[in-house]
Amino acid sequence: MKEILAQRLKACRKEKGLTQMQVAVYCDITEKAYQNYELMTREPKLEILIRIADLYGVSLDYLVGRNENGE
């Protein structure tokens, strides 16, 4: 699950044309914290994951690999 989450975070961010810093500011976390999510060294807390899903316009299930269509 960690690997899928990291891959989808990066893919969604690039699709939206956002930098890691922009996502971090939106989520009220450090850029390093967000980088760690994309590098699979840390997992975001649920509160942060919800913010990220809202920003990217996808479901939590999509981010963690429970469905494939983003809804």
pLDDT band at 45 (very low <50, low <70, confident <90, very high): very high
The whole-number pLDDT of residue 20 equals 98
Averaged pLDDT for residues 17-23: 98
Q: How confident is the model at residue 25 (pLDDT cuts 50, 70, 90)?
A: very high
pLDDT band at 17 (very low <50, low <70, confident <90, very high): very high
Kindly list the domain boundaries of the chain, sorted by start residue: 2-63
CATH no. of 2-63? 1.10.260.40
Q: What is the dihedral of CA 25, 50, 52, 36, to 10 degrees?
A: 80
pLDDT tops 80 at residue 1 = no
Contact 39, 6 (CB under 8 A): yes
In this prediction, residue 67 carries a pLDDT of 85
